[in-house]
Amino acid sequence: MRWQEAAGALWNLSFDDRNREAIAAGGGVEALVTLAQSCSNASPGLQERAAGALWGLSVSEANSIAIGQEGGVAPLIALARSDAEDVHETAAGALWNLAFNHSNALRIIEEGGVPALVHLCSSSESKMARFMAALALAYMFDGRTDEFTPIATPSESSSKNVSLDVPRRMALKHIEAFILGFSNPQAFAAAAVSSAPAALAQVTEKARIQEAGHLRCSGVEIGRFVSMLRNASSILKTCAAFALLQITIPGGRHAVHHATLMQGAGAARVLRAAAAAANSPIEAKIFARIVLRNLEHHQVEHSI
């Protein structure tokens, strides 16, 4: 019980930037990775708090890198396979943060994390677990990881390409299925031919993940999603627009913060291009229009 209480306390403390630094400086990363490695047969409460504390610490890029280097990827993947919703949801959150870093993304692939995340993305009862698993997969296969993959020799090239291509196709297939689960074809068809706010509101209502309004993304994370809107993959474009929709819906705890970051990054121009692109799926176009409407709402609200 004392380990559970300690991990829970560190999870709560990790929501504060200065606390995250202090926990890491005091050896918290190593201690929590060790705890995660040793709690495969522990109570769901301890597992949830161990994964949650690592999720909280991994908000910091330096901590995220340290968690990967200390061996934290494998135990988090194991916890993501848990049948307990609270456990696999917190593990998915931690893996989402870790996957932002290319070295960690490669570790997740090498440790067999893609099937675990795909399973969560397609079968968890938690919408948030499915959402964060989809975002982790999107980070892993948006092209950034490829840039840092070691160059293979001619004899190794074929097998290495295949080893990345298979999980990439698996990931994209399940990301697409996840997003389509939040779509209503009739509502999309109506929104495609109408500029009426009610048409977009109907799509938003169907797509909204209530708990996603509590997520707080950094400027670099927002930039990653904006860049993903230009990705050659139509599935990743749609995923990026879907993610930006979730975190800018008016009423979300950090929606104004996200809108400010997006406006500063010139996201509106990219969103307009995505909404108008002839080769974009209808879902990406409509989601991009909704995000633009959300940004306009926050801009007007801020000027009042």
Compute CA 198 distance to the chain's CA centroid, rounded to the nearest angstrom.
28
Alpha-carbon distance 90 to 85, whole Å?
A: 9
This prediction's pTM: 0.92
Ramachandran assignment for 71, one of left (phi > 0), alpha (psi -120 to 50 degrees), beta (any other): left
Alpha-carbon distance 192 to 206, whole Å?
A: 16
Question: What pLDDT shows up at residue 156?
Answer: 46
**pLDDT tens digits in sequence order for the chain, 304 residues long:** 688 889 999 999 999 999 999 999 999 999 999 999 999 889 999 999 999 999 999 999 999 999 999 999 999 999 999 999 999 999 999 999 999 999 999 999 999 999 999 999 999 999 999 999 999 999 999 987 776 655 444 444 444 444 789 999 999 999 999 999 998 889 999 999 887 889 999 999 999 999 999 999 999 999 999 999 999 999 999 999 999 999 999 999 999 999 999 998 899 999 999 999 998 899 999 999 999 999 999 986 665 5
CB 191 within 8 Å of CB 203: yes
Question: What pLDDT shows up at residue 40?
Answer: 86
Give the dihedral sign, CA 102/106/109/113.
negative
Alpha-carbon distance 33 to 73, whole Å?
A: 9
Alpha-carbon distance 89 to 139, whole Å?
A: 17
Alpha-carbon distance 182 to 207, whole Å?
A: 5
